[in-house]
Amino acid sequence: MTSVYLHPALISREEQAQQYFIKGNYNQATDYYEQAIEAEPEVKSHYWNLGLMLLLQGQEAEAQVTWMLGIADGEAQQVDQWTDELIQVLQNEAERREKLAEYTVAWAVRQHVREIAPKELNNLFYLIELAIKLETFTGDELTNFGVIELIQLEQIVDVGLLLQVLRSILNSAPLHPSVLDFVEASLAHIHDLNSLIKILIPATVKIAHSMWRPKIAARLMELGLRLDPHNTEILRYLGAFYIRSGDYSKGIETARLCESLSATLPERVSATYLLQQGLMDTAGYWQEAYRIFLQQESLLTSLIKEQPTDIEPVRIVRLFNSNYFAPYLRDDPNKNRQIQNQLAQFCQINVEEYASEKVQRYRQRTLGDRTKLLKIGYLSHCLSNHSVGWLARWLFQHHDRERFQIHAYFINYKQVFDPLQEWYVQNVTQAYKGGISSEDIAEKIYQDEIDILIDLDSITLDIACEIMALKPAPVQATWLGWDASGIPAVDYFIADPYVLPESAQEYYTEKIWRLPQTYIAVDGFEVGVPTLRRDSLDLPSDAVVYLSAQRGFKRYPDTARLQMRILKEVPNSYFLIKGLGDAEAVQKFFMQLAQEEGVDSDRLRFLPLDPSETIHRANLLIADVVLDTYPYNGATTTLETLWMGIPLVTRVGQQFAARNSYTMMMNAGITDGIAWTDEEYVEWGVRLGKDKALRNKIACQLKASRQTAPLWNAKQFTREMENAYEQMWQRYIEE
């Protein structure tokens, strides 16, 4: 607390009052200030300090009366001066309390500053900060305090404090309707775009991916774009948010602009990746998507050849997954893996360069106490209502807790109600609810002394790639979420006898660890009540119904054309199509193919997404036959199809993505429907459509397989995974 000038005769009394005040003895301090006022009523600081003592004792009305007495006898100019002095005393006390983390007291003091000077903007900023720290902030304060209007009117604003409050608000209540208005009003005062970007990017990523509100994230990024319409960093995130929200046309348009403005090779690679995503998710631009894919491959080849050394760390991380779309467009594992492996090695070298201290520290770990349980860490952003989440849960459920400690490391932990995510939290030894900081998550893995780290994301998420490249655990493996990443710091890729051909080790840098039967097993799926009926879709009761439920990425034109040929050869057949993507573009895509292949478009039905996973599975029963995709098969959708007892036609290829359905069918004991060529794919589709008896036989086999097949024995699968972990660890300690 700060006081104004005091008469020398009263200095000792004031000092005594200060001592009582600091010790929290407000009664004694009050007595001294009352005596001071009696002795020197003209010294206004006595009133300010006495009122403060009364306020701190909860006597708010008395405090206000005391301050009014100090001000009452002044002229207008004096009143303004004395009011400023009183505000300064209160602000000093609020600052002192804030430093002591006594936020409730600081809040009360600043509320009185607000009553005295309701337009004191900095005080209002501090009140918002305090409300956030006290966890009482709702977002309504922005309008109740009149902050937005004041920012718009003020010519001079403490920009540092404004940015601090902006960061806090976006972390605390980013979805409140007033937040967008607050950010927009703030733009007039923010001239350092980099400072704004550092706040907006993590906040909008959280909003889009953790809170599942990409449209709001896009609107925030649009505001940032006002400061620099040609900023490629903002454009890249904005395009991704558009695509995630389903606004594909805007996403593609933004990606094109970002690509045209990108100057360096790494920037062009990132922008081209974004453009690929938009084009392929839409499912209506396959010709351009393939051209962009070849362009990206050329860019990556140049990057690998040039080996630039001046790339910023954030741009290095983005490069990890820039070859993501190769297996969707080409079943050529030798070529695809060569580029991916070289790219991953290039990124790994750069990670080791910019994070050398951390990498070295992780490498110098000691084995420690080997009598403890083996610690297994699972790393993913998908341990939630996601395909990976639905499939991996059985492994977590059946893990032997007497042999293993199970740790889960959530990347970008979801800030929404997600029962499956909560299930994972409750079913591990320890759960780390991480954000988007690779370094924080890697450090936690290291500090937890994880023995074997299992990456469930591979190159589907660049953050996961950076964490694996840092190698926070001595043994690291990739499983389930995608093909192998090619990162040199990853030791193993977990597969089985079918999902990769025998020759696959030639083009993998990781050691392929083949489990004895299957690389995935589940005990089953929850099934709801169906909402689809044939009559509601205007389908004859005796029709042969084909179904494909996949996202736009997988709608490869050549395979879709084969599906039209199947339809053409099977009388009274219909094709149901549903999945993520641009609905209008998907319809146009299939309608055009149908016309080209001589199939009546009336035989196509385009279905919306189902309300839930359980209803989706129940609705699969409307189909007689499911037609798989190629060169990227279904995975979860295949498991669901087989569990529901529906015959499946799949085209087997050479790459991991083209053999998922094959291994699942083999491990369910089904060979009918497995095609090794395009011709066989059509033949199986036609045969299953025409042969009802064969369909019934497969349905019976699938139903019986629930009791006998490796695919439906998650407990046995878990024992095989655990045996693999123990063997991996034994190899490590023997090296």
| CA dist., res. 317 & res. 259, Å (int) | 18
| CA dist., res. 401 & res. 584, Å (int) | 49
Three-state DSSP class for 623? coil
| CA dist., res. 118 & res. 115, Å (int) | 6
Neighbouring C-alpha atoms within 13 Å toward the C-beta of 498: 20
Domains and CATH numbers, the chain: 269-354 (no CATH), 357-514 (3.40.50.11380), 535-712 (3.40.50.2000)
Alpha-carbon radius of gyration of the chain:
32
Cα angle value 399/402/407 (rounded, 5°):
55
Bond into 174 cis (ω within 30): no
Local mean pLDDT, 10-residue blocks, the chain (735 residues): 46 64 74 77 80 82 83 78 87 90 93 92 96 95 94 90 96 95 94 91 94 96 94 96 94 97 95 95 88 97 92 94 96 97 97 96 82 92 95 97 97 93 97 95 97 97 97 98 96 98 97 98 96 94 96 92 98 93 88 96 94 95 98 97 98 98 98 98 98 98 97 98 97 90
176: left (phi over 0), alpha (psi -120 to 50) or beta: beta
Q: Can you tell me which residue has the tokens 């005594």?
A: 16
- Could you tell me if 619 and 531 are in contact, meaning their C-beta atoms sit under 8 angstroms apart? yes
Which pLDDT value is given to residue 126? 96
pTM of the entire structure? 0.88
Q: Minimal CA–CA distance to 4: which of 41, 38, 43?
A: 43
154 C-beta neighbours (distance < 10 Å), count:
15
528: left (phi over 0), alpha (psi -120 to 50) or beta: beta
DSSP secondary structure string for all residues of 549-586: E--GGG--HHHHHHHHHHHHHSTTEEEEEE-SS-HHHH
- Could you tell me if 57 and 30 are in contact, meaning their C-beta atoms sit under 8 angstroms apart? yes
Name residues whose C-beta falls within 8 Å of residue 688's C-beta, 6 or more positions apart in sequence.
Answer: 624, 625, 647, 649, 672, 673, 694, 695, 698
Q: Which amino acid is at 160?
A: G
503: left (phi over 0), alpha (psi -120 to 50) or beta: alpha
- Could you tell me if 273 and 296 are in contact, meaning their C-beta atoms sit under 8 angstroms apart? yes
Q: Is residue 491 within a helix (H) or strand (E), and if so which, with residue range?
A: none
| CA dist., res. 343 & res. 327, Å (int) | 15
Q: Can you tell me which residue has the tokens 């005091």?
A: 6
Token pair belonging to 563: 């599906």
| CA dist., res. 425 & res. 418, Å (int) | 11
Token pair belonging to 655: 């790459």
Q: Minimal CA–CA distance to 442: which of 364, 358, 344, 357?
A: 358
Torsion sign over Cα 174, 178, 180, 183? negative
Range list of β-strands (E), 515-661: 544-549, 573-578, 604-606, 625-627, 648-651
- Could you tell me if 377 and 404 are in contact, meaning their C-beta atoms sit under 8 angstroms apart? no
Which pLDDT value is given to residue 370? 64
